[in-house]
C-alpha cells in the first residue's frame, strides 16, 4: 500500500488529453513539492516534472503538473503512442522522514 495513491491505469486515444492523479496527505504533498517520473517499458525512469509544475530541459510542454491541497495532477495533452508508459508521482514525507512514490499509473494510448 503506497503512501501516495494513483489510479492503476488510464487510457485515451491519440491526440486526446489524459490526467493522472496522485493523492497524499499533509505530511507529503500538502507541504512538499511533487515530482513525476515516466518509465517506458524496459527502461529506467525519467524525470518528467519537477517541483510540482516545472519541466526539465527537453520535456515537451504537452506535459504539465499541478497541485491542490494534498493532491497532485499530471496532465498529458496531444497523446502519442510513444507516451505509453508507467507514470509515478513522488514526494518527501515529513512524518516518515523519507521519500515516497505513488504506486504508478499505466497509460495506454488506444
Q: Binding of other proteins at residue 53 (CB under 8 A)? A: no
Q: Binding of other proteins at residue 102 (CB under 8 A)? A: yes
Q: Binding of other proteins at residue 26 (CB under 8 A)? A: no
Q: Binding of other proteins at residue 56 (CB under 8 A)? A: yes
Rounded to whole angstroms, the Cα distance separating 13 from 109 reads 5
Q: How far is the CB of 84 from other proteins (least distance, A)?
A: 16
Q: Binding of other proteins at residue 60 (CB under 8 A)? A: no
Rounded to whole angstroms, the Cα distance separating 21 from 107 reads 12
Q: How far is the CB of 40 from other proteins (least distance, A)?
A: 12
Sketch the per residue contact string, 27 through 46, with other proteins: x for CB under 8 A, - otherwise. -----xx-x-x-x----xxx
Q: Binding of other proteins at residue 88 (CB under 8 A)? A: yes
Residues 95, 101, 104: CA angle, nearest 5 degrees = 145
Rounded to whole angstroms, the Cα distance separating 41 from 93 reads 28
Q: Binding of other proteins at residue 62 (CB under 8 A)? A: no
- Helix (H) or strand (E) holding 50, with range, is none
Calculate the CA 52 to chain-centre distance: 9
Amino acid at each position: 500500500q503506497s503512501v501516495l495513491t494513483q489510479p492503476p491505469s488510464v487510457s485515451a486515444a491519440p491526440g486526446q488529453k489524459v490526467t493522472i492523479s496522485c493523492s497524499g496527505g499533509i505530511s507529503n504533498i500538502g507541504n512538499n513539492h511533487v515530482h513525476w517520473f515516466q518509465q517506458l517499458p524496459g527502461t529506467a525512469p525519467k524525470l518528467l516534472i519537477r517541483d510540482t509544475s516545472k519541466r526539465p530541459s527537453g520535456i515537451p510542454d504537452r506535459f504539465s503538473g499541478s497541485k491542490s491541497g494534498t493532491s497532485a495532477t499530471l496532465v498529458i495533452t496531444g497523446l502519442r503512442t510513444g507516451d505509453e508508459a508507467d507514470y509515478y508521482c513522488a514526494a518527501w514525507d515529513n512524518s516518515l522522514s523519507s521519500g515516497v512514490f505513488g504506486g504508478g499509473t499505466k497509460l495506454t494510448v488506444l
